[in-house]
Every structure is written in structure tokens, then in C-alpha cells.
């Protein structure tokens, strides 16, 4: 198993997940060229991807999809309303655009989307399982619903949004309507929200967590790590033993080593 967050943030998102020789890409929000180069750097060919899974239609999650599908003819999966709302849908090859069902087996991996609260047409997170291995992706969500909590439970590896520090956002330069959107139940998860979600999660003996989709203006990686870590420690979690936190970045790969 390996998970490589190729890019994470408002400028673009893409996550490579390999389980039992099944190779998947979650979101394609960076250029196809950069996706190819990033995969080359970790020893994987873009042509070998078994599928591309789209969480929602916002450009920072699909901006590279058009070139990726046209050039490599990969199967891509998204909810019907997501396809319909996607700015580039009419430019995508129809045979590559697959409807995302409630459960899909690709190789030995079962892929199950789950609904999240975000201001998009039909946004989802993903639960991927093969045998006893479970990986979940949950970014771009305003709050952790019971559905999300159940989906994330007992994950081995979790990519979870830790988007902003509330005080930095409130005191920052964004216009008020944008601040309200981000802080709303259909916006983005704050550092404190991520920390409490992890603290209250039904977990395995050890969970590896990527803190993802961090705002470049309203957060700092070290602040996200400190805030989430402090909540976990206060709730009795031993960092590095019960939970390992790993930061992600817009312009560099953050990886969980192949096992």
C-alpha cells in the first residue's frame, strides 16, 4: 500500500492511492503534465492508473481532467450531478466519463463514495478497502456529519481536511461573504474541527493522518499540526503511537511509504 498526496490546497488537489496493485487517482486538480511527472517521480506510469475518482466539480479538483482523459483515455468516475456541473464536461471523451455508483470493485479494491457537506452539486469523500486495509479521503467539507464519521472509522490511512485557523480567517483579508462561506456547514473544515473529529473517531491501534487542503492565506502547516496535535494529546491520544500526523503542500508530494 502507498498513498501519495501529489498536491493539496486551493491551487489544486490530486491523490495517488495504490492498494494490492490497484492504482487509483482521487481528483485531478493539477495539470496532466504535473500528474504524470509526479507519478514518474514515485515510479508509477500514468497509463497504469486503473481509474480516476472525482470528489466534486470545483476547478481545483478537475482542472487537469480534460487533458488527462483525452491523452490517456482513463476511466473517470463521478456522480451524475457532478458531471453535469463540471465546467469542462462537454470537452471530455464520453467513453471515459463513468457514473459513480454507491460501490465499485476495481481489482481487489472496493471503492465506496460517501456524501459530504460542501457547496458543490453532489460532493463525496471516498472509502477504499481491500482485505483489512482501509484508506479514506475527506476534504472540502463544512463539518463532519454522522455519515462521514462512520465512513472514516477504523481507517489505516486518512486524508482529512484541516483548511483554516478560525482567527486567521476572521482577521484576514478575505471579504466577509467568502469568510462566511468557508466557515459555514457547506464550507471547509477548520483545524479545530479536524482535531476534534480525529479525537472522537473510532480508530484502529494506529492511524496515519494527512492534514490536507490547507489554506495558504488562512493557515500555516505548523499551526495546523500544533492545533490538531494539542486536541489529540489533551484527549489522551499519543502522537506517533496512536495517530501520526503528516502535513501536505500545494507544490510538493507528501507520501505514505509503500508497504
Instruction: Render pLDDT for 198-210 as a digit per residue (tens, 0 to 9).
Output: 999 999 999 999 9
- What pLDDT is recorded for position 256? 79
Query: Measured between alpha carbons, how far is residue 223 from residues 7, 50, 101, 242 in Å?
Result: 19, 36, 38, 20
- Delimit the domains of the chain by residue range: 2-250
* DSSP strands (E only) in 79-167: 97-99, 104-106, 109-115, 124-130, 133-138, 157-161
- CA–CA separation, 73 vs 70, rounded Å? 6
pLDDT category at 258 given cuts 50, 70, 90 is: low
- What pLDDT is recorded for position 158? 98
Over 60: is that where the pLDDT of 163 sits? yes
pLDDT digits (tens, 9 = 90+) for 92-101: 999 999 999 9
- CA–CA separation, 237 vs 240, rounded Å? 9
Over 90: is that where the pLDDT of 37 sits? yes
Q: What's the mean pLDDT in 102-112? A: 97
How many other CB atoms are there within 10 angstroms of residue 203's CB atom?
A: 19
- What pLDDT is recorded for position 103? 98
Over 90: is that where the pLDDT of 15 sits? yes
The domain over range 2-250 is classified in CATH as 3.30.43.10? no
Over 60: is that where the pLDDT of 259 sits? no
Query: Taking the model in full, what pTM does it have?
Result: 0.97
Residue 246 exposure: Cα atoms within 13 Å on the Cβ side: 18
Q: Cell 490530486 appears where?
A: 14
| Contacts with 68 (C-beta within 8 Å, 6 or more apart), sequence order | 28, 32, 35, 46, 52, 74
Q: What's the mean pLDDT in 180-194? A: 97
The mean pLDDT value of the chain amounts to 97
* DSSP strands (E only) in 117-164: 124-130, 133-138, 157-161
Over 80: is that where the pLDDT of 75 sits? yes
pLDDT digits (tens, 9 = 90+) for 231-242: 999 999 999 999
Amino acid at each position: 500500500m502507498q498513498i501519495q498526496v501529489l498536491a493539496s490546497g486551493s491551487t489544486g488537489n490530486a491523490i495517488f492511492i495504490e492498494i494490492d496493485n490497484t492504482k487509483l487517482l482521487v481528483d485531478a486538480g493539477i495539470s496532466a503534465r504535473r500528474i504524470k511527472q509526479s507519478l514518474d517521480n514515485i515510479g508509477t506510469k500514468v497509463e497504469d492508473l486503473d481509474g480516476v475518482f472525482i470528489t466534486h466539480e470545483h476547478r481545483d479538483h478537475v482542472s487537469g481532467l480534460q487533458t488527462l482523459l483525452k491523452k490517456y483515455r482513463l476511466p473517470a468516475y463521478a456522480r451524475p450531478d457532478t458531471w453535469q456541473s463540471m465546467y469542462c464536461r462537454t470537452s471530455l471523451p464520453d467513453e471515459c466519463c463513468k457514473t459513480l455508483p454507491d460501490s465499485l470493485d476495481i481489482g481487489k479494491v472496493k471503492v465506496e463514495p460517501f456524501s459530504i457537506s460542501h457547496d458543490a452539486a453532489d460532493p463525496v469523500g471516498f472509502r477504499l478497502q481491500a482485505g483489512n486495509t482501509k484508506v479514506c479521503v475527506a476534504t472540502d467539507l463544512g463539518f463532519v456529519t454522522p455519515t462521514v464519521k462512520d465512513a472514516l472509522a477504523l481507517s489505516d490511512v486518512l486524508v482529512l481536511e484541516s483548511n483554516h485557523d478560525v482567527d486567521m480567517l476572521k482577521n484576514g483579508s478575505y471579504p466577509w461573504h467568502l469568510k462566511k462561506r468557508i466557515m459555514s456547514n457547506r464550507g471547509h473544515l477548520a483545524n479545530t474541527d479536524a482535531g476534534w473529529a480525529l479525537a472522537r473517531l473510532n480508530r484502529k491501534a494506529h492511524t496515519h493522518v494527512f492534514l490536507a487542503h490547507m489554506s495558504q492565506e488562512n493557515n500555516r502547516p505548523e499551526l495546523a499540526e500544533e492545533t490538531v496535535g494539542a486536541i489529540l494529546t489533551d484527549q489522551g491520544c499519543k502522537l506517533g503511537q496512536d495517530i501520526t500526523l503528516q502535513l501536505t503542500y500545494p507544490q510538493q508530494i507528501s507520501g505514505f511509504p509503500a508497504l
